[in-house]
């Protein structure tokens, strides 16, 4: 089993609102200073080794918001759009990339968007290029219409990767907007889209439009069935926020916020691997039950001194 650290354990054993001081009172082997010192250390790279990843998995990416409503003094904290609330909130936007193969999840990066720097699409393209150069061979790339920019899909296609995404209703396809095109039943239409240098298929599913560069024809049902696999990243975001305290780091530096996000994801993957048949909330409850029974070896698994 991979060793984690005391901060990962603090996230797992803390119920309710999280803080370093609260976690230190729960587990005497940890101190408040040791937890805050972990956050102040230089950020580590918590992502899977691409060379050892199996081929043919799903590469999924999306962004989410970490709300910090009372933290104007946090480094690079800014007003960002939160789609779940439908309004701008004070906090951070970060982009997560994961790789899914046979229900096993690998973390491929957490990229914080900084206002005034590169756009989110530019950050995604940089990371995708790094993954391609490292030898990643996904079976499909899945993302929502927010990342269906022409430069993004052109780059993915240039890697000979296949993708499935949604596109906006005003997307210019075969010289007219997709919402004005007559679709014949569940069949897709194949052709050229403005700004995209390869042939794509577009199928209409209810009031949504599925776009892909897959060679085999898709239908409304088959295209949506593939695209729905993207939902796993939304489940990861929900677990990180509701179970593993993603939004509850009060450190003021960006480095500390990044370390906290990385630790939350490491704790999530621990629960996922140790309790594969349980959801995140039930997995944490089972972890706590075993921990209180003394069946969790915190010294070996989390690197704590006896």
pLDDT one-digit tens code per residue, 195-232: 999 999 999 999 999 999 999 999 999 999 999 999 99
pLDDT of 1: 39
Nearest Cα to Cα of residue 258 among 121, 114, 53: 114
pLDDT in the model for residue 44? 60
For 37-55, the DSSP string reads HHHHSPPP-----GGGSPS
Calpha distance 172→53 (Å, rounded): 37
pTM: 0.92
Q: What are the average pLDDT values for consecutive 10-residue runs of the chain, which has 306 residues?
A: 72 89 81 84 72 94 91 86 86 95 94 93 96 96 96 98 96 94 92 96 95 96 97 96 93 91 93 93 94 79 58
Taking the domain 6-301, which CATH number applies? 3.90.350
- Calculated CA dihedral for residues 119, 121, 127, 133, nearest 10 degrees: -130
Q: What is the pLDDT of residue 257?
A: 92
Whole-number pLDDT of residue 126: 96
Give residue 306's pLDDT: 43
In the chain, domain spans: 6-301
Determine the pLDDT at residue 144: 95
99, 138 in Cβ contact below 8 A?
yes
- 220 membership: H or E segment, kind and range: helix 220-227
Residue partners of 6: CB distance under 8 A and separation at least 6: 27, 29, 30, 34, 35, 38, 302, 303, 304
């Amino acid at each position: 089993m991979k060793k984690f650290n005391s901060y990962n354990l603090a996230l797992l054993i803390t119920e309710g609102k999280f803080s370093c001081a609260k976690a230190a009172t729960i587990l005497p082997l940890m101190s408040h200073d040791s937890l805050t010192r972990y956050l102040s250390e230089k950020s580590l790279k918590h992502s899977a080794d691409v060379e050892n990843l199996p081929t043919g998995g799903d590469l999924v990416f999306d962004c989410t918001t970490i709300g910090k409503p009372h933290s104007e003094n946090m480094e690079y904290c800014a007003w960002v759009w939160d789609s779940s609330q439908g309004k701008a909130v004070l906090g951070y936007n970060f982009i997560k990339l994961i790789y899914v193969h046979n229900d096993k999840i690998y973390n491929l990066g957490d990229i914080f968007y900084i206002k005034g720097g590169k756009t989110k699409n530019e950050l995604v393209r940089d990371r995708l290029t790094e993954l391609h150069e490292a030898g990643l061979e996904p079976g499909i790339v899945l993302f929502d219409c927010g990342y269906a920019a022409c430069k993004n899909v052109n780059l993915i296609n240039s890697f000979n990767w296949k993708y499935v995404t949604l596109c906006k209703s005003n997307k210019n396809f075969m010289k007219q907007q997709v919402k004005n095109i007559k679709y014949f039943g569940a069949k897709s239409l194949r052709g050229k889209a403005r700004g995209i240098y390869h042939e794509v298929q577009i199928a209409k599913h209810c009031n949504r439009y599925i776009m892909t560069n897959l060679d085999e024809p898709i239908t409304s049902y088959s295209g949506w069935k593939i695209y729905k696999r993207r939902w796993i990243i939304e489940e990861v975001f929900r677990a990180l926020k509701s179970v593993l305290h993603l939004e509850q780091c009060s450190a003021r530096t960006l480095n500390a916020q990044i370390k906290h996000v990385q630790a939350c994801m490491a704790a999530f993957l621990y629960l996922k691997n140790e309790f594969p048949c349980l959801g995140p909330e039930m997995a944490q409850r089972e972890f706590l039950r075993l921990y209180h029974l003394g069946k969790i070896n915190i010294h070996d698994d989390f690197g704590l001194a006896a």
